[in-house]
Amino acid sequence: MDIKHDIEGIRLTSAEISYLWTTYIMESKCQYTSGCVIGNISDPDIKSIFQSAIEVSTRHVNEIQNIFNTVGEVQPYAFSERDINRDAPKLFSDRISLELLKAYIIFGMVSYSTALPMIARSDVKQLFTECLTTAINLCSRIDEIALHKGIFIRPPYFPVPKEVDFAHNQSILGHFIGKNRPLSCLEITHIFNVSTAMTISKALFMGLSQVVANDRLQRFLVEGNQIAEEQIETLNSILEKEGIAIPPSFNTEVLKTTHSPFSDRLSCYFTLTTIESLLSTYSAAQLVTMRKDVLASLISLSTTLKLFLKDCFDIMLDNGWYEKAPENVPPRELITH
């Protein structure tokens, strides 16, 4: 059944406003970072992906502006040409640039799929459906290019099960000391995924630490690089004890330059999004990890990352970089006015 809704006069809900606001900032960030990076991409296939990402983000920003105009809501400050330097030399190789773009698209996919069930207004639902569809298509194109070029990060191979098995006692939970059962396919998949995400993030922290102008932000990024290195070592050691392959390093994919393509504010926002994405990846891993020793390690690592996230917020607040989300107006404030 094709049901038509007259959206004129329909108010936006808190979910619709919050996800439109968040998506506007995310798409604006992708629009300008990709627009800045694309000029230094030499591989034509990877360049075409960045061009598509720019076009998609620009379209989404314009569509959200139109929705905001229907209700008279001011659009977010977000980002613009003032936040990028198109003449800056290349900071990241084509390969790590592609991995960073994919990670950002995946973060968007999670946000869009979370938003959709809470959206009522038809134009907003149509927007987020389109956002999710284009993100899936972009991610698929990235994977096709990576597979073709032999740079796809393939998760570990795993023996095919020959029979069904059930757990009958607490041994499936493992022990903190002593012999433990082998890792399950779920545990291996998510530990490998966290390690991969952390390896990509480490390259980002390393690159941005070379070029930011703010001393405090630079020290923060250097610390982030060290945290990432320690966490990668811990995660990879879990895999190596089981004879499982570990993700590749991207340390050599960061180029030697001190000229920043991004404003410090944009760099800090990019870092914030990366940490939030890492925490989401850790949460998914914790939900499927039953071995107590591994779960304890994941919880400890994610707690360190949460404290690191707090430091990022402090830097943004102290520099006036953090754009506040729309806030509620309590009835008592309406009465006093």
pLDDT per residue over 271-289, tens digit each?
A: 999 999 999 999 999 999 9
The predicted structure's pLDDT at residue 230? 98
Query: 3-state DSSP helix/strand/coil percent for the chain, to nearest 5?
Result: 70, 0, 30
pLDDT per residue over 217-261, tens digit each?
A: 999 999 999 999 999 999 999 999 999 999 999 999 999 999 999
pLDDT per residue over 304-327, tens digit each?
A: 999 999 999 999 999 999 999 988
The predicted structure's pLDDT at residue 176? 65
- Report d(CA 266, CA 95) in Å as an integer: 21
159-178 per-residue burial string, b: 16 or more CB within 10 A, e: under 16? eeeeeeeeeeeeeeebeeee
- Report d(CA 294, CA 191) in Å as an integer: 9
Q: How confident is the model at residue 337 (pLDDT cuts 50, 70, 90)?
A: low
Tell which residue, 265, 249, 149, 291, has the closest CA to residue 208: 265
Q: What is the mean pLDDT of residues 192-207?
A: 98
| 8 pLDDT above the threshold of 80 | no
Which comes out higher in pLDDT, residue 292 or 140?
140
- Report d(CA 190, CA 296) in Å as an integer: 15
Tokens of 176: 């903190």
Residues 6+ apart with CB under 8 A from 306: 279
| Ramachandran area for residue 244 (φ above 0: left; ψ -120 to 50: alpha; else beta) | beta
The predicted structure's pLDDT at residue 161? 85
Residue 44, CA distances (Å) to 40, 145, 267 in order: 11, 11, 26
| Ramachandran area for residue 60 (φ above 0: left; ψ -120 to 50: alpha; else beta) | alpha
pLDDT per residue over 116-132, tens digit each?
A: 999 999 999 999 999 99
Tokens of 181: 């059962």
| 64 pLDDT above the threshold of 90 | yes
Tell which residue, 316, 262, 214, 212, has the closest CA to residue 83: 262
The predicted structure's pLDDT at residue 4? 58
State if pTM tops 0.85.
yes
| 3 pLDDT above the threshold of 60 | no
Residues 6+ apart with CB under 8 A from 326: 17, 18, 21, 73
Average pLDDT, the chain: 93
Residues 6+ apart with CB under 8 A from 4: none
Q: Are 146 and 123 in contact (CB under 8 A)?
A: no
Q: What is the mean pLDDT of residues 193-220?
A: 98
- 138-144 own/partner pairs: CB under 8 Å, 24+ apart: 138/49, 138/52, 138/53, 138/56, 138/105, 139/102, 139/105, 139/106, 139/109, 141/49, 141/52, 142/49, 142/98, 142/101, 142/102, 142/105, 143/102
- Report d(CA 236, CA 247) in Å as an integer: 8
The owner of tokens 């960030």 is: 29
Task: Give DSSP secondary structure letters for 180-219.
Answer: -PPPPHHHHHHHHHHHHHHHHHHHHHHHHHHH---HHHHH
Q: What is the mean pLDDT of residues 205-227?
A: 98
- Give the domains, in start order, of the chain with CATH numbers: 14-149 (1.20.1260.10), 180-318 (1.20.1260.10)
Q: Indicate the burial class of 288 (C-beta count within 10 angstroms; 0-12, 13-18, 19 or more).
A: middle
pLDDT per residue over 161-187, tens digit each?
A: 888 888 777 767 666 666 788 899 999
| 334 pLDDT above the threshold of 70 | no
